[in-house]
Chain A
């Protein structure tokens, strides 16, 4: 492989980057590639030492390889990638395949598609000489050779020529621009061809053919690129022409408007010179934004200024980050759909990822288009994801947009609660919450058999439908004590508590209620914090501008905010885990860690609430300290739970 023969250290580490990581992933189809690279590159050990190198860009599901109690943490190695990264990866793969097959990149790509990305099978068939569609390979090769300097796009003036798609023929003074594949001679109008390709792209077709039904020629990437470039250039020219027209037509009106706004701006600034800083910064914003002519930009800017000036506009503020993300996403999408070739490439990439769905997973957060690629496992005992999950470990990964999610269940992060338990918990919450709330609010348990009883009216004399025990609704004592007097005068004590607790089911329900309330509480405070702090953050933006503090200097505020959110989230899930772990002595440590963690979280949360916005920058150290404390205890808790789970797997309910 010419790739790995490169002597340059940097280059070789770059090019082996992907191949190396993939080595760990079992029964994945990249393996052949890796063996090759290792055979030739003799410095395999050097690569090993590079494994933990930051430049590889891989991440681990757990920060350390051993806990303080010296338990091995089996970790999943993964890499978060964007779709663009995937396209590059795919290109690399094709180039690597070509270096073996020597058939040309176009042919290799088509063969890979034909083999449904199964490179092993392709190489095996190729070396055995019984490649399916061998005729196709020969044809493709011929194509590759024929790809000389024939102009693919040309003008036809012969009036006898007919495009077989639109049935149009060139007339005098109006020639048709036609496109022909480099491999066949079936010309069609460029526009018809473009529409045909667009339609095929819409249907996610991976193998594009010449539109002529009798022609079996496939459209290669380089041909596609040519017609796609042609379309793109033409579009740009049209746009340019139109813009020029617009500018020449509107020049006068623009200057008028400019004068007007300038005049208004002057008046405003003189009026509000030292009255209100906020308003001035707003008006300055507008001035800054004004020169941009593009409509979209100004719209967005308006939206921005609206948010600044109107802090009561709650929903807009909480959604601010989502808005930004949405905008970025649509921009990227636009970029991808821009040309025929880029859309086709996107289709290929998506198909590739879905063919390897075990290794590539989409971020489950709505509107997020980044992906996470499973690279391998940092363990001698765990080789696959299912084994990993069976060990009650949680494959929490972070995508390129910093969304945390579980690689196995594709739900939001639920560590340290194992996947199976988290699922059970979620289900339990869904099923039982409503019932539990209602039961707690509206029923009392029969003091004799503990059946929940609803008082649907009438007097206090209750007779349990199950055991027939007669009791008083008020004091839950035997009714016979009341001497037929319908007024209860008996003092409500706690004499019967022990008896009640004997019921095991009841006890479990209590337990569940206890942990559920903790869980629910945490969830609520998380939501509340999120809402409130997003609002703060928005205000912070203003202050930042006013004080002239750079974005980086205010970073600590956002970072500690993220730490708080993450901590609350994790604490929430430890409650769910505790429900299943039980009340055994061994989890005392976990309990203690949990309490410490919870205390630190509350401290940080209070700090956020108590600190006045103006004081934020002065309190910087306090924020950092508290956040660090939370992080430290979070790590401690994580490790304690991991220790516990990996030691006492069987004890989990």
Chain B
């Protein structure tokens, strides 16, 4: 086992202990619902589920993230993407809900999960995130957990000066809060699945 895998294993243990060890996990309160490798055989592909922060248009909604970890981690940053599905797949999902998702969501008082990400710093079609700590400002002392939390913070603090979604950023720049919030809400309603 090399040093990268050793570190990932330790990170995994820490996160799982914090998420599931105690009932009212502070981590879950701050918006991280799940963070773990996709499969047991591959340490380098992780997935995460986050909850939109309160009093933002993203509240009460869950989002999935994909994490690709380079072999030189933690010297190089992980690649983190929002999971973006095609319209068709979302329509199919809206018909039925997968057991796994329901289980995750039960732990938080959330009703649905969105499969597109309307945000000024996220590419609407690919889910790519523009965040300095994932690129230039990355430091090996960051962890996957702290990186995901930074993304949660990004949801409530968008940065319209370096947008990947120009339309939303323009609304923000014009200080049209109402339209900005309404548009995001519309997308979330449109592309969400699982309502129990």
A residues contacting B by CB (< 8 A) are 164-168, 186, 188, 192, 195-196, 199, 209, 211-213
Binding-face segment, B6-14, B57-65, B152-160? B6-14
Binding-face segment, B38-46, B100-108, B139-147? B139-147
A214, chain B: closest CB distance, angstroms:
9
Contact A167 B7 (CB under 8 A): yes
Could you say which of A188, A196, A211, A213 contacts B133, with CB atoms under 8 Å apart? A213
Some 19 contacts from A to B, beta carbons below 8 A apart, are A165-B74, A165-B140, A165-B141, A166-B7, A168-B6, A188-B141, A195-B75, A195-B140, A196-B75, A196-B140, A199-B75, A199-B76, A211-B139, A211-B141, A212-B139, A213-B133, A213-B139, A213-B142, A213-B146
Could you say which of B137, B140, B146 contacts A192, with CB atoms under 8 Å apart? B140
Interface residue SS majority, chain A: loop
Distance, CA A65 to CA B76, complexed state (A): 57
A330, chain B: closest CB distance, angstroms:
25
Complex contacts, A166 vs chain B, CB 8 Å? 3, 6-7
Contact B7 A212 (CB under 8 A): no
Complex contacts, B142 vs chain A, CB 8 Å? 213
User: By CB atoms of chain A within 10 A, which of B7, B75, B146 has the most?
Assistant: B75
B126, chain A: closest CB distance, angstroms:
24
B57, chain A: closest CB distance, angstroms:
28
Complex contacts, B3 vs chain A, CB 8 Å? 166
In the complex, number of A-B residue pairs with CB atoms less than 8 Å apart: 36
B137, chain A: closest CB distance, angstroms:
8
Could you say which of A195, A199, A213 contacts B141, with CB atoms under 8 Å apart? A213
Distance, CA A213 to CA B11, complexed state (A): 17
Distance, CA A166 to CA B75, complexed state (A): 10
Distance, CA A575 to CA B127, complexed state (A): 62
Complex contacts, A196 vs chain B, CB 8 Å? 75, 139-140
Distance, CA A122 to CA B193, complexed state (A): 58
Count residues on chain B whose CB falls below 8 Å from chain A CBs: 16
Distance, CA A196 to CA B139, complexed state (A): 8
Contact A211 B6 (CB under 8 A): no
Complex contacts, A186 vs chain B, CB 8 Å? 141
User: By CB atoms of chain A within 10 A, which of B6, B10, B76, B141 has the most?
Assistant: B141
User: By CB atoms of chain B within 10 A, which of A165, A188, A196, A209 has the most?
Assistant: A165
B residues contacting A by CB (< 8 A) are 3, 6-7, 10-11, 72, 74-76, 133, 137, 139-142, 146
User: By CB atoms of chain A within 10 A, which of B7, B11, B72 has the most?
Assistant: B7
Complex contacts, B10 vs chain A, CB 8 Å? 167
Complex contacts, B140 vs chain A, CB 8 Å? 165, 192, 195-196, 211
Distance, CA A199 to CA B72, complexed state (A): 10
Distance, CA A164 to CA B7, complexed state (A): 10
Could you say which of B6, B75, B137, B141 contacts A212, with CB atoms under 8 Å apart? B141
Complex contacts, A212 vs chain B, CB 8 Å? 139, 141
Could you list 14 further interchain pairs (A-B, Cβ under 8 angstroms) beyond the known A168-B6, A188-B141, A213-B133? A165-B74, A166-B6, A166-B7, A167-B10, A167-B11, A186-B141, A192-B140, A195-B140, A196-B139, A199-B72, A199-B76, A209-B139, A211-B141, A213-B142
Do A164 and B6 form a contact, CB below 8 Å, given A195-B75, A199-B75? no
Distance, CA A188 to CA B142, complexed state (A): 13
A418, chain B: closest CB distance, angstroms:
45
A174, chain B: closest CB distance, angstroms:
14
Distance, CA A199 to CA B74, complexed state (A): 11
B4, chain A: closest CB distance, angstroms:
9
Complex contacts, B11 vs chain A, CB 8 Å? 167
Distance, CA A164 to CA B75, complexed state (A): 12
Complex contacts, A168 vs chain B, CB 8 Å? 6
Give me the 3 closest cross-chain CB pairs, A-B, nearest first.
A167-B10, A164-B141, A199-B75
User: By CB atoms of chain A within 10 A, which of B6, B133, B139 has the most?
Assistant: B139
A493, chain B: closest CB distance, angstroms:
78
Complex contacts, A211 vs chain B, CB 8 Å? 139-141
Name the residue of chain B whose CB is nearest to the CB of A167: B10
Complex contacts, B141 vs chain A, CB 8 Å? 164-165, 186, 188, 211-213
Distance, CA A196 to CA B6, complexed state (A): 17
Name the residue of chain B whose CB is nearest to the CB of A186: B141
A376, chain B: closest CB distance, angstroms:
39
A218, chain B: closest CB distance, angstroms:
13
Complex contacts, A164 vs chain B, CB 8 Å? 141
Distance, CA A103 to CA B172, complexed state (A): 44
Complex contacts, A199 vs chain B, CB 8 Å? 72, 75-76
A93, chain B: closest CB distance, angstroms:
28
Distance, CA A211 to CA B77, complexed state (A): 13
Distance, CA A192 to CA B139, complexed state (A): 11
Distance, CA A352 to CA B180, complexed state (A): 45
Name the residue of chain B whose CB is nearest to the CB of A189: B3
Name the residue of chain A whose CB is nearest to the CB of B14: A167
Complex contacts, A209 vs chain B, CB 8 Å? 139
Complex contacts, A167 vs chain B, CB 8 Å? 6-7, 10-11
A192, chain B: closest CB distance, angstroms:
7
B86, chain A: closest CB distance, angstroms:
36
B95, chain A: closest CB distance, angstroms:
43
B23, chain A: closest CB distance, angstroms:
26
Distance, CA A543 to CA B6, complexed state (A): 63
Name the residue of chain A whose CB is nearest to the CB of B76: A199
Distance, CA A549 to CA B139, complexed state (A): 61
Distance, CA A122 to CA B142, complexed state (A): 34
A255, chain B: closest CB distance, angstroms:
41
B148, chain A: closest CB distance, angstroms:
14
Complex contacts, A192 vs chain B, CB 8 Å? 140
Complex contacts, A165 vs chain B, CB 8 Å? 7, 74, 140-141
Distance, CA A213 to CA B137, complexed state (A): 9
B74, chain A: closest CB distance, angstroms:
6
Name the residue of chain A whose CB is nearest to the CB of B138: A213
Distance, CA A199 to CA B141, complexed state (A): 14
Name the residue of chain A whose CB is nearest to the CB of B75: A199
Distance, CA A168 to CA B9, complexed state (A): 11
Distance, CA A186 to CA B140, complexed state (A): 13
A125, chain B: closest CB distance, angstroms:
26
Distance, CA A165 to CA B7, complexed state (A): 8
A602, chain B: closest CB distance, angstroms:
61
Distance, CA A186 to CA B141, complexed state (A): 10
User: By CB atoms of chain B within 10 A, which of A168, A195, A213 has the most?
Assistant: A213
Distance, CA A167 to CA B137, complexed state (A): 20
Complex contacts, B74 vs chain A, CB 8 Å? 165
Complex contacts, B76 vs chain A, CB 8 Å? 199
A203, chain B: closest CB distance, angstroms:
9
Distance, CA A166 to CA B137, complexed state (A): 19
A142, chain B: closest CB distance, angstroms:
22
Distance, CA A211 to CA B74, complexed state (A): 11
Complex contacts, B75 vs chain A, CB 8 Å? 195-196, 199
Name the residue of chain B whose CB is nearest to the CB of A198: B75
Distance, CA A165 to CA B139, complexed state (A): 9
A160, chain B: closest CB distance, angstroms:
15
A163, chain B: closest CB distance, angstroms:
9
A365, chain B: closest CB distance, angstroms:
34
Distance, CA A168 to CA B11, complexed state (A): 11
Name the residue of chain B whose CB is nearest to the CB of A192: B140
Distance, CA A209 to CA B141, complexed state (A): 12
Distance, CA A518 to CA B76, complexed state (A): 58
Distance, CA A188 to CA B74, complexed state (A): 13
B135, chain A: closest CB distance, angstroms:
11
B22, chain A: closest CB distance, angstroms:
20
Complex contacts, B6 vs chain A, CB 8 Å? 166-168
Distance, CA A520 to CA B93, complexed state (A): 73
